[in-house]
Amino acid sequence: MSENNPLLRRVYALDGDKEETRRVYAEWAEQYDRDTLDGMGYVAPGLVAKELSGLVAKDAKVLDAGCGTGLAGVELKKLGFTNIDGIDLSGEMLEVAREKEAYDKLAEADMTVPLEIADDSYDAVISVGVFTSGHVKPKALDELARVTRKGGQIVVTVHEKVWEADGYPDYLEDMEKRGLVSIRAVKEAPYHRKEGYSCQICVLEVL
Ligand SMILES: C[S@@+](CC[C@H](N)C(=O)[O-])C[C@H]1O[C@@H](n2cnc3c(N)ncnc32)[C@H](O)[C@@H]1O
């Protein structure tokens, strides 16, 4: 699929240039759900929603960081979650998310800089498909921990391509040493079933 889809080739070639990231997702927004769900067999949003539902109450205040078109919000809503906010770099992706009516608040935000969100604002934070090549690096996990209340839960996917390459195992261990989180689980899981990619689903409790 990626070989035949010029947008996907551009997504895989992203190198952290925010303007190019914004441009690619602005162009992809309308087609994103079809390409990922049908085209690639993207299962990560459903898996993360299911993981979170085993950890927190359905009325938990949840932030979906890098929510894109809202695939994870829809999965959370199906499971009974009622209090979900979303942030994303791309206004166009957020517009598609808004149509799904799964979120309370949606806002543009860059996860690579300090978020304009107060400490301890959320009971849980999820991030699906964002810790991947050319998007967001492990350092962004610090901000997710900061905006989650003590005892709250973080569930994120890390794409297999960057798990070792971007140093996630060491970074998570370092977060534990700094007393930010406790690592509850790191599980290998399918990501894009049709493309054969996997990810690590990381479950962190904020300390
Ligand atoms: C592969 S999509 C995943 C979207 C959604 N979470 C999902 O699972 O379908 C990656 C998303 O990360 C967003 N993104 C990339 N860099 C970002 C950044 N620095 N801050 C916030 N969002 C970012 C993109 O705009 C895009 O919506």
Please give the average per-residue pLDDT across 6-11, as a whole number.
86
Q: What is the pLDDT of residues 81-90, one digit of tens each?
A: 999 999 999 9
Q: What percentage of residues in the chain have a pLDDT greater than 90?
A: 92
What pLDDT, on a 0 to 100 scale, did the predictor assign at position 9? 86
Q: How far is the CA of 183 from the centre of ligand 1 (A)?
A: 23
pTM of the model: 0.97
Q: Is the pLDDT of residue 1 over 80?
A: no
Q: How far is the CA of 91 from the centre of ligand 1 (A)?
A: 11
From atom 27 of ligand 1, which residue's Cα is the shortest distance away? 68
List all residues whose CB is within 6 A of at least one atom of ligand 1.
Answer: 21, 25, 44-45, 66-68, 71-72, 88-90, 93, 110-112, 128-130, 135-136
From atom 3 of ligand 1, which residue's Cα is the shortest distance away? 129
What pLDDT, on a 0 to 100 scale, did the predictor assign at position 3? 59
Q: What is the pLDDT of residues 34-71, one digit of tens each?
A: 999 999 999 999 999 999 999 999 999 999 999 999 99
Atom of ligand 1 nearest to the CA of 67: 6
Atom of ligand 1 nearest to the CA of 25: 25
What pLDDT, on a 0 to 100 scale, did the predictor assign at position 12? 87
Q: What is the pLDDT of residues 146-197, one digit of tens each?
A: 999 999 999 999 999 999 999 999 999 999 999 999 999 999 999 999 888 9
What pLDDT, on a 0 to 100 scale, did the predictor assign at position 2? 58
Q: How far is the CA of 66 from the centre of ligand 1 (A)?
A: 4
Q: Is the pLDDT of residue 4 over 80?
A: no
pLDDT confidence tier of residue 122, bands split at 50, 70 and 90: very high
Q: Find out whether 133 and 10 touch, Cβ atoms under 8 Å.
A: no
Q: For the domain bounded by 6-206, which CATH number is listed?
A: 3.40.50.150
Mutate to test the pocket of ligand 1, among 21, 31, 87, 130 (most ligand atoms within 8 A of CB): 130
